[in-house]
Amino acid sequence: MTQKDPTLPVDDEARHLAKKLMRTARSGALATNGAEEGMPFASLVAMGTDLDGSPVILTSQLSIHTRLLAADGRCSLLLSAIGKGDPLAHPRLTLLARAERIEPGSDKAQQTRRRYLLQHPKAALYVDFPDFAFWRLNVASGSLNGGFGRAYRMAKEDLLTDLSAFPGFAELEAGAVEHMNEDHAEAVAHYATKLCGAREGAWRLVGIDPEGLQLALGDDLLRLTFPQPLQGPDELRPMLVALARS
């Protein structure tokens, strides 16, 4: 007898949940491969995201998982929404990926450093140590458990944001984030408290992508998804204004 596949067809609700987990998780359980003993090695890592949502980690050469990634880039990352009660009642996402070391000093490393420090400002204490480097986890697929009876097998296209229509978006995002935090702090706070239902406070904008915003206050990280994805860079400013007025 053939066992029935328990997973559900991937829909927009599942994609939204998975992307929210990826954009709001501050840490995850990284599983790497130990070549000598043939056993998996799991470790807790702080996590940021690239513009398309790909996980980014900052690791030291002294860490075991860094040496294992250098030898074999295949890995998985478990992300979970933290909440009260039974931990298995909350959504979680397992990503299958191949890790790619970002060359220190490169333009990509500088872009990654800027975004990562917005999401993890305390990392400024060690980010420039010579034994530290960023790794991008190039996602191949994922497994989402959205709660009892809600399991999904997800392709790369379900998990990441398509940036093909947004050349040079990194520079646009950097300028927009700085401008909003410096000149429109009230609007940023409005996004968090009024549109996301978060607590009052000095919220900061820490990321923008064609599908939404990332907002931070202390250790809290929020995701505000746009009513509809941007179709081009020129739609960003009107979208921010519309959200502030809503």
Question: What is the tens place of the pLDDT at every residue in 56-89?
Answer: 999 999 999 999 999 999 999 999 987 777 888 7
DSSP assignment, residue 187?
Answer: H
Each residue's pLDDT tens digit, 112-129: 999 999 999 999 999 999
Q: What is the pLDDT of residue 4?
A: 58
**Rounded distance, CA 164 to CA 175, Å?**
20
Domains of the chain: 12-159 (2.30.110.10), 169-245 (3.20.180.10)
Q: What pTM value is reported for the model?
A: 0.92
Coil, helix or strand at residue 240: helix
3-class SS shares of the chain: helix, strand, coil, % to 5 = 35, 30, 35
**pLDDT category, 12, cuts 50, 70, 90?**
very high
Indicate the range of 88-92, 190-194, 210-214 predicted with least confidence.
Answer: 88-92
Each residue's pLDDT tens digit, 199-236: 999 999 999 999 999 999 999 999 999 999 999 999 99
Q: What is the pLDDT of residue 5?
A: 64
- DSSP assignment of 116-136 equals HHHH-GGGGGTTT-TTEEEEE
Q: What is the pLDDT of residue 202?
A: 96
Indicate the range of 18-27, 32-41, 182-191 predicted with least confidence.
Answer: 32-41
Q: What is the pLDDT of residue 1?
A: 46
Nearest to 209 by CA among 224, 192, 191: 224
Judge whether residue 2 has pLDDT over 60: no
Q: What is the pLDDT of residue 34?
A: 83
Each residue's pLDDT tens digit, 124-167: 999 999 999 999 999 999 999 987 778 999 999 999 999 999 99
Q: What is the pLDDT of residue 234?
A: 94
Which token pair is 62? 């002294």
Backbone angles phi and psi of 108, in degrees to 5: -65, -40
Sign, Cα dihedral of 146, 55, 87, 200: negative
